[in-house]
A and B are shown apart, each in its own frame.
Chain A
Amino acid sequence: MKTLSKNLLLFSICLFTLTILFRFSLSSVLQNRLFSSIWIVAATYGVLVFIIGWTFGKRDNLHLPLYDIGFRFHLATYIICNLIAELWHLIGLQSDYENISYIHLTAIFWGIGLIIHYVIYLVTRKNAIKGIKKSEIFE
């Protein structure tokens, strides 16, 4: 299966940039004790990630309809978000109000969700030939 497509790569680059900006904004807002503004940063990040996921996911499907129920995009999101969060703390760019244990907990619980998604993907893959849903190959 063609795992790393052009659209997935573009999505990953955009997500990487957005996540860096999000981490920077979040740490700045927290460090300046602007606690009531956190939701604006989080919501903006969430909406933007949704938009790029929707855009590149749709484009990817139009290019080649790989039947992976969004698993490749989910995996890329998991790796990028958690890797940046961990590195952010390892380098020491976090605010005084951020704790790395929350990053670990997020990675664990999200990881469980990712594993469930992977299992569902493996089950649905039986309906596909080389990653394309049987009913969509010759439609």
Chain B
Amino acid sequence: MSKHNPLSELLSAWEETYKKGQLTLWIFLSLKDGKKYVDEIKTFVEEQSNQTMSCESQSLYRNLRKYQHVGVVNFETGEGNKGPERKYYFLTELGLELLNSFIERNINLFFNNRIKNLINREEKQ
């Protein structure tokens, strides 16, 4: 039997599953914040998620290519910092509509008073 703290083990297991579908939401939120190149998206995701989300640049590029292919993200090239031109990604109209619909159906649920109170309630049952 494991000697680790059961809370920490269970939390890690839950978070591992929970985070799998989270990257898209974080990427889209970073692009809703404004046009960004890959390193800026990576920084946004890591900072805004309090380092609970991490992503490799290669993985970000692959995801962005998929989003671009289905028409929810696009890019324009802009000047890099003394280097080659960078791709600045942004949400298309469809992408923005998709994000807003997703937030409305899946995220706003957490903002109704009953759920908010439950989330904020700290006393032990």
Seen from chain A, the residues whose Cβ lies within 8 Å of a Cβ on chain B are: 2, 62-65, 129-132, 136-139
How many residues belonging to B are interface residues under a CB distance threshold of 8 Å?
10
Q: Which residue of A lies closest to B58 (CB)?
A: A62
Question: In whole angstroms, what is the CA distance A138 to B65 when docked?
Answer: 11
Contacts of A137 in B (CB 8 A): 66-67, 70
Q: Which residue of B lies closest to A64 (CB)?
A: B65
Contacts of A63 in B (CB 8 A): 62, 65
Question: In whole angstroms, what is the CA distance A80 to B21 when docked?
Answer: 41
Question: In whole angstroms, what is the CA distance A65 to B66 when docked?
Answer: 8
Question: In whole angstroms, what is the CA distance A119 to B70 when docked?
Answer: 23
B21 in contact with A64 (CB, 8 Å) = no
Task: Encode contact with A along B47-74: 1 for CB under 8 Å, 0 otherwise.
Answer: 0000000000000001001110111000
Contacts of A138 in B (CB 8 A): 21, 24
Q: Which residue of B lies closest to A63 (CB)?
A: B65
Question: In whole angstroms, what is the CA distance A139 to B20 when docked?
Answer: 7
Question: In whole angstroms, what is the CA distance A78 to B62 when docked?
Answer: 29
Question: In whole angstroms, what is the CA distance A136 to B70 when docked?
Answer: 12
Contacts of B66 in A (CB 8 A): 64-65, 132, 136-137
- List residues 59-109 of chain B with CB under 8 A from any CB of chain A: 62, 65-67, 69-71
